[in-house]
Amino acid sequence: MRSKNIKMIEISSELGAGTRGSSLGPAALRYADISKGRRKLNRYPFEWVDDINEKMRVPSKLEFGLNLNHIVKVLPAIADKVQKTLDDGFFPLILTGDHSNAAGSVTGVKQHIGNKRLGLVWIDAHADLHSPYTTPSGNVHGMPLAILLGEDNIENQSNDPDEETIRLWEVAKAIGGEGISPKVLASDIVFIDIRDLERQEWDLIDEKEIEFYTPKEIKQYGIETVAKETIEYLKDCDYIYVSFDVDSLDPSVSRGTGTPYPDGLQLHEAKTLLYHLLKHPKTIALEVTEINPLLDENNKMAKAVLEILEEVL
């Protein structure tokens, strides 16, 4: 990893989150680094993607796709920024507000690699496989992987979204051009540490035979084995994208995220996992998301994530 030419991309959009504050996550991480003397992150060049978070001043009328009308405007800008970063020869370290932004950043990688096959490691307490047809909350940060898969999960439909929501959902799935939808294949995804899912998501995982590791399996096999098995599972992919949602960490590390859930990764496990993934030559980008300092004490989550990044970058 030390040989990679890193550039940070800061994306503060929190349009997809259910709780305000994740827009401050990237800045909280950089502030944690500044407080330690700019030893790691702030030495890298960085760019940012303009957000339109001010649109949340008006409550969204889209019950099953909250703020989706604004999110579909942000996602292409994210995709283009990530693509350009890769085109310019940099390794993107993508710091985002909420996880809905991953639909844009992964699209940007696909725009760069074209028809090459992309593996996706989704380190998260949640599967983010909902669509407007299944979502229990309407929050789009629970939908980015369904967007990337082009998956509606109609078989498990529990909602009846209106025509505008359906139209915008189709727009979201087609971002980057219909020629690259789906952006990833179900066979090229590995979930690590998923543990807080709805029935519709588990049913889709079973139907698509998506590879996953629960906390029980991580404890059984050990995190180093999980990392090595993940890389082996994705061996036929040309590139690997790593998405690290901080709610994968156990709340004992910090509760500074919108949806903390028990039985997560400990700090040393996250370090080991990311170390093995990032040293692999096929890994093309790392995303860190859902840090929320407004739900934290003394910026603990950002400090914990910084400690991880200091060891693995």
What span, in angstroms and rounded, lies between the C-alpha atoms of 33 and 254? Answer: 17
Nearest to 111 by CA among 183, 189, 5: 183
Nearest to 45 by CA among 96, 10, 71: 10
What span, in angstroms and rounded, lies between the C-alpha atoms of 121 and 100? Answer: 16
The letter for the amino acid at 149 is: L
- Strand, helix or coil for residue 63: coil
Nearest to 93 by CA among 32, 9, 4: 9
How does DSSP classify residue 49? E
Nearest to 259 by CA among 210, 308, 197: 197
- Strand, helix or coil for residue 7: strand
Provide the pLDDT for residue 178.
72
Contact 240, 191 (CB under 8 A): no
Provide the pLDDT for residue 2.
47
Nearest to 292 by CA among 44, 9, 10, 12: 12
How does DSSP classify residue 47? E
Domains present along the chain, CATH in parentheses: 6-312 (3.40.800.10)
Q: Mean pLDDT, consecutive 10-residue segments, the chain of 313 residues? A: 80 97 97 87 93 97 98 98 98 98 98 96 98 98 98 98 98 88 96 98 98 98 98 98 98 96 98 98 98 97 97 93
Question: Could you tell me the pTM of the whole model?
Answer: 0.97
Q: Which residues are catalytic?
A: 99, 124, 126, 128, 141, 245, 247, 290
Provide the pLDDT for residue 180.
80
What span, in angstroms and rounded, lies between the C-alpha atoms of 241 and 14? Answer: 21
The residues with which 95 forms a beta bridge, in sequence order, are 10, 288
